Each structure stands twice: as C-alpha cells, then as structure tokens.
Structure 1
Amino acid sequence: MARKVIDEPSEDLVAIAKKERAQRRNPFARVALFIRQVFGELRKVVTPTRNELLSYTAVVLVFVIIMMALVFGLDQLFGWLVLLAFGTSGS
C-alpha cells in the first residue's frame, strides 16, 4: 500500500520565503533561497518499496502493451480500408 505523502510546504520554508520576499534580496540570495527550498521539498519525497516499484512497473508495461496492440489494430484496419477504397495500383 502506498504511503501518504504530505504535499504542503513546511511552516519554516513559508516563513523564510515571506521574509526573503519582503526584504527584496539580490539575485544570488534568491538563487540560494530557491536551492534551500528545493532541498526542503526533496526531504519530503518518499521512495516506493520494492513491491510497490514492481507493481507500478508491471502496470505501466501492461498499459503500454495494450496501447501498442490498439494502435497496431487500428493501423491494420485503416490500411485495409484504404486498400478496399482505392485498390492496388496496377501498371
């Protein structure tokens, strides 16, 4: 079962961002703030377990195979309809 991920910024990051925005820092300070916020968000990332990863991979592969079969089938159908409508070119 997937673990719950909290997608809200922490209070410290919000407070720091508001303080920085109010003070109007130079471009280097803005870049530093951005990088601090990126690292703060990366700390929230939850990596899937091995079983979750394998099940997600299986779901993606099955979906891709189904879509490939659907596109192949439609391609064959439309190709047959074009041959039916226009026939083969005879010399």
Structure 2
Amino acid sequence: MTDVGSSSRASTRRGDKGMSPVARLRLFIKQILDELRKVVPPTRSELLNYTAVVIVFVTFMMAMTATLDFGFSKLVALVFGN
C-alpha cells in the first residue's frame, strides 16, 4: 500500500541538497508543526491512569532494586566479613 504523501516527501528529500540552510530550517519546522497537529492529547482519565501506572511501576522497580541491593550487600558482608 502506497502512502499518498510519500511521493511529495521523497521529492522534497531529493531537493534538500540544493536548499539553503534557512529554507531547510523552515521546512524542518513546518514538518514538526504538521506532525504536532496530528497529536491527540490524552483525556483527563487517561492521563490519570497513565500517571498511576508510571508511579506504580517506578515504586515496584525501586523496591526491587533496594531489595537486591540489600541482599547483595548482606551476601558480600557474609563472604568477605565486615
């Protein structure tokens, strides 16, 4: 399946070498703004859900890392003494 805008993008890419730095910067900013218009912001409930998931995951990873650190420090103390 062919992307409708791919031919115009490909021709733009081929013409990039002859463009001035200012024109390339304008094109770059235009492409960024075009992509940002496609972004759909999350709803409030989605945002709260994503935030909760991240907080739970980070808390779990902190607990796991602390447990492993504590266990390895006890193991090293046992093997090598205080």
Q: Same fold (TM over 0.5)?
A: yes
Question: How many Å separate the matches in 2 of 1:28 and 1:10?
Answer: 27
For residue 49 of structure 1, what is the aligned residue in structure 2? Answer: 43
Question: How many Å separate the matches in 1 of 2:72 and 2:42?
Answer: 42
**Shift of residue 29, structure 1, vs aligned partner:** 1.0
Structure 1 unaligned regions, length at least 5: 1-8
Number of residue pairs aligned between Structure 1 and Structure 2? 79
In terms of fraction of residues, the more helix-rich structure is 2
Residue identity opposite 2:65 in structure 1: V
For residue 22 of structure 1, what is the aligned residue in structure 2? Answer: 15
TM-score normalized with structure 2 length: 0.81
Superposed CA RMSD in Å reads: 2.3
Residue 40 of structure 2 corresponds to residue 34 of structure 1: no
Structure 2 unaligned regions, length at least 5: none
Q: Tell me the percent identity.
A: 51
Question: How many Å separate the matches in 1 of 2:74 and 2:39?
Answer: 50
Residue identity opposite 2:41 in structure 1: T
Per chain length, whose mean CA-contact separation is higher, i.e. which structure has more relative contact order (CA < 8 Å, sep 6+)?
1
